[in-house]
Structure 1
Amino acid sequence: MANQLLKSTTLVSIMTFLSRIVGFIRDMVIAHMFGAGAGIDAFLLAFKIPNFMRRLFAEGAFSQAFVPVLSEYRTRQDHDGVKQLVNKVFAALGIVLLVVSFLGVVGAPWLIRLFAPGFSVEDSRFGLACYLLQLTFPYILLISLTAFAAGIQNTYRQFAMPAFTPVLLNVSLILAAWILSPYFQEPVEALAWGVLLAGISQLCFQIPFLAKLALLPSPQWDWQDPGVRRILRLMVPALIGASVMQINLLVDTIFASFLPVGSLTWLYYSDRLLEFPIGIFGVALATVVLPHLSEEYARNSHRGFSASMDWALRWILLIGVPATIGLTMMAGPMLATLFQYGRFSGHDAMMAARSLMALSLGLVCFLAVKVLVSAFYARQNTKFPVKVAIVAMAANVVFNALLIGPLAHAGLALASTLSSIINVLILLFALLQKKIYIPLNGWLSFAGRLIFANTMMGAMLWWLVPEMAQWLDWSASTRAINLLMLMGAAALIYFASLFLMGLRIGHLRLQSVGYES
């Protein structure tokens, strides 16, 4: 079990890494073809709303509520009982999603006014954003059903294909940008159609894998089923508690709509770079840990539950701290290397770097909150995380109001970081106070090794990373070569320092931090 947990996390990380690489290619194509103008601002807003709901509803609330209940059914009932639950949840989920999608399409103008009040009716971005949102909103129906299929597969320890599925979205948007955009009067409309086509392909991709598990759902209407009612009851508060980062980013969008043209795009590209380590590692870790924690809780294994939490938090620090240093010190070079082509200028890269540095300071917290919230949801406790989420969101609004004046879009990014820190501290304190999580031995030596290794890596980057002006003068190939060399050198220094300080991979296996099945 212990080795399988690490292997599953690695597998999901590899698949997610592939998706993120294709995602970067997608963003490079979009930046090259559309720059940072009004049209791409409108599309990013129109895509952000259903994408926000995807992360909040499909990957957040639904998965956090569905997987623990399904894991319990798998542990305590036979296959027919599991299949009945799948059928009934599919029917209930499908009806809810159809209603939500219809309301979203009809209410697109009101949603744009709500999430981007800075887009006035006279602003060309308003009408375009409304139309694009009507095209992209049904994506929430398709991707939520895809997340439903992924939750089933994850419960049965099949992580590879759900982690690969986002590649289809990235490929669809690349093809839409290159092939379809010349055929539209407003080229960004092609991207909206690409989103819709991606949702269809992602859902269809799941069918053979569910059939292999003999869990391909057949809709069976039963609102009174205890399992369905428990999932729905858990979902209501989880809609807020599971995805505080996404809620905060959407609040940022509201404030950013009052800033100059391009601000939404700068925030988007900085968020995309931050999502690279979060997606590759944070989402992968939370995806694998949630069903594991749910099983430990169903077996009433308090020691196994706490040890799994300890294992996950050590890995978050091991990966998150050096990633924070790297993103902060190389924000400008990374953005220039990846996106400064065509209509995306050096000025755009420098402005996006400001918000990336501010967001990077909260990376460890953005990673940790996924695991900490999973600890509560694995125990089918959604009430406390939602209370903490409300506090964090209120703090985010206050920080936005205070920081938007002096720091503009970078202030909005910093507000998200500060509110996430508050969120993590409250969740962690509660887990410790209630003795749900009891830190195991070895934290002091582990922290010392991390401090030494990160200090060595940071000093190397401070010495070697050139000024941004020099970076912008280089050709694309020179930038890419230098960026890869710096990243390689940073990784070498970091892991060599850890090795020198006596840290071995065996120290980070689950059984090495006290796991007992």
Structure 2
Amino acid sequence: MLRSTVVFSAMTFLSRIAGYARDSLQAYVFGTSAAVSAFVVAYRIPNYLRRIFAEGSFSSAFVPVLSELKQKGDDEALRDVLDHVAGALLAAVIVVTALGMLLAPWIARLFLLFADAGDDGIVAITADMLRITFPYLVFISMTALAGGVLNTFRHFGVPALTPVLHNIAIIAAMLVLPRFLDMPEKALAWGVLAAGVLQMLVLWPTLARLGVRPRFRFNFGHEGVRRVRTLMLPTIFSSSVAQVNLLVGTMFASMLVVEAQAWLYYSDRLTELPLGLFGVAVGTVILPQLSRHFAGADEAGYSRSLDWGLRVVLLLGLPAALGLALLAVPLTAALFGRGEFTAEDTRMVGYALTAMSLGIPTFMLSKVLLPAFYARQDTRKPMRAAVITVAVNVALTVAFVLPLDYLDVRAAHVGIAAATALAGVVNAALLWRYLRRDGIYRPEPGWTPWLTRIAAGLAAMAAVVIPFECWVRTTQGPWMTLPDLWRVAWVLLIIAAGAGAYGAVLLALGLRPRHLRH
């Protein structure tokens, strides 16, 4: 599992590098304009549906069923289920896409519910972009189907690499299309659609080499389709809690200054870096493993695999969260602070990033805890946790944002980020409690020294990063006044120093590579 996680993380890292290039170019060319905020909404809605019909709810239900059939060695039944599930998924996403394009103006108004009456132009732009981005759902769902099959067969590298194509397609669209469009920002929406097509064309042929490329069969009453549907419906909420909370935040951000959507978007993109590199990687690798343990009635192996996943994400997630919190403004300045992206944008994104970083470790824990339920084909408890989490998020968002908005605080969007982070803490705590209460997860010995090492490493990291950052700011000047190259160089030096201090303390306290192996 460690080897597969490293492969997945390495491919994801390449994707994040391409993603940074995409976001940096977007910030430089378009800044945080009203049209960019419209794109954020138009991208977030089909992106949420992607979590349902692609790698989120669908994969969580599909992979355990496919893993069970593979474990039994019934190749004919596996291909039959794959053919019928592929047909049902294609039919469903085509219908949803058609409805989304038809109802685009009403969907845009719903998610911009609190926008001022004078913002009707933004609603119209969002609707136009929705009609472009919605077909992306069809292509990315087929891509995710192929990725789920490949993960079941322990091929993690190619599915993890395809998001690089997503970012490359949007970059190409930003460079080529604006001169041909009535509104240059619409190039972002066309880039998203092209990205979905490109990923499917690259990933789909790999199934043929394994001999499992599906033939689309449309029988919604097929037993395999019914099993996946039964498992999938309760996971729609539970496997995409973070996306649901982002959609809630999107609605509330519409009542704030028009740049708030873009500020939250960029802070979310930075939190996605450790989440994708470590949380999603471990969660993706561990799901087929847990499914095999469950199919083989190996309860001890099941618990040990889960314990390994929890230790790894805490070892990596806690320093990532601390680093983002301590370096929120310097990172934002170094990555995006140029062109149309102003000093105020840097500060506002930095504030939101600091608040959002509080939830990073628990976001990552949820990525490992959820597969523990899905591998057992238990979807009710995650659903219960998701309902509570979203209710908490709405309550906290109202409690934080409304007073700030009433007081006309320009950084009121930070309340949305803080509510999302705290809701993530609640979600992870509930999932962990359910597993412990039912006796599914039994912690292995050694947790106290493990957490002690991490705490000591975090203290050393903070002791290096805080004075180093203060020294740079005092002697070299505010971050946004530094030349681009020096900003990046100083941030990289601070990160290296902090990571070195963290790693040195872990090694000094006895942590060795063998402790990371499962």
TM range (shorter): over 0.9
TM-superposition CA deviations, 1:130-183 (whole Å, max 9, x none): 000000011111111110110000000001110011111100111111111122
Tell me the amino acid that sits aligned with residue 90 of structure 1. Answer: A
TM-score, with length taken from structure 1? 0.96
Alignment RMSD, CA only? 1.1
Deviation at 1:508, TM superposition (A): 2.0
Q: What SS class does the counterpart of residue 358 from structure 1 fall into?
A: helix
Matching of residue 183 in structure 1 with residue 180 in structure 2: yes
| C-alpha contact (below 8 Å) 2:271/2:360 kept by paired residues | yes
Question: Does the 8 A contact of 1:109 with 1:130 survive in 2?
Answer: yes
Partner of residue 55, structure 2: 59
**CA deviations over 1:250-273 (Å, ceiling 9, x no partner):** 100000011001100000000000
Q: Give the structure-2-normalised TM-score.
A: 0.96
TM-fit CA distance, 1:437: 0.4
Corresponding residue number in structure 1 for 2:96 = 100
Query: Contact 1:16–1:164 at 8 Å: present in 2 too?
Result: yes
Q: Find out whether 1:478 has 2:482 as its counterpart.
A: no
Question: Which residue of 1 is the match for residue 351 of structure 2?
Answer: 354
- Find the counterpart in structure 2 of residue 43 from structure 1: 39
Give how far 1:78 is off.
2.3
Q: How does 1:253-264 map to 2 (within 5 A)?
A: 253-264=250-261
In 2, Cα distance between equivalents of 1:129 and 1:119? 12
1:447: which partner in 2?
451
Counterpart residue number, 2:329: 332
1:152 matched residue in structure 2:
149
Q: How does 1:435-514 map to 2 (within 5 A)?
A: 435-466=439-470, 467=473, 470-510=478-518
Could you tell me which residue of structure 2 aligns to residue 513 of structure 1?
Answer: none
> Would you say the 8 A contact 1:431–1:437 is kept in 2?
yes
The 3-state SS of whatever aligns with 2:367 is: helix
Contact 2:362–2:425 (CA<8 Å) still a contact in 1? Answer: yes
Which consecutive unaligned segments of at least 5 residues does structure 1 have? Answer: 511-517
The yes-or-no answer on 1:197 pairing with 2:194 is yes
Partner of 1:344: 341
Aligned to 1:249: 246
Residue of 61, 65, 71 corresponding to 2:67: 71
Query: Aligned AA for 1:84?
Result: D
4+ runs of 1 displaced by more than 6 Å?
A: none
User: Contact 2:465–2:495 at 8 Å: present in 1 too?
Assistant: no
Select the residue among 368, 373, 396 that pairs with 1:371.
368
CA contact (8 A) 2:2 2:516 kept: no
Give % identity.
42
Aligned 8 A contact 1:61 1:235 in 2: yes
What letter corresponds to residue 13 of structure 1 in structure 2? S
Mapped contact 1:181–1:190 kept (Cα < 8 A): yes
Contact 1:121–1:127 (8 Å) recurs in 2:
no
SS state at 2:445 partner: coil
Residues 329 and 462 of structure 1 are in contact (CA less than 8 Å); yes or no, is this contact kept in structure 2? yes
Aligned partner (choices 135, 149, 152) of residue 138 of structure 1: 135
Amino acid of the residue matched to residue 63 of structure 1? S
The residue number in structure 2 matching 1:286 is 283
Post-superposition shift, 1:122?
A: 4.5
Does residue 211 (structure 1) correspond to residue 208 (structure 2)? The answer is: yes
Match of 2:5 in 1: 9
One-letter identity of the residue aligned with 1:75? Q
Q: Are the equivalent residues in 2 in contact too, given 1:56–1:246 (CA < 8 A)? A: no
Give the aligned partner of residue 421 of structure 2. Answer: 417
**1:306 equivalenced with 2:314 (yes/no):** no
Structure 1 residue 224: deviation in Å?
Answer: 2.2
Tell me, in whole angstroms, the C-alpha distance in 1 between the residues paired with 2:179 and 2:116. Answer: 28
- Alignment partner of 1:165: what SS? helix
Letter in 2 for 1:393: V
How many angstroms does 1:77 deviate by?
3.8
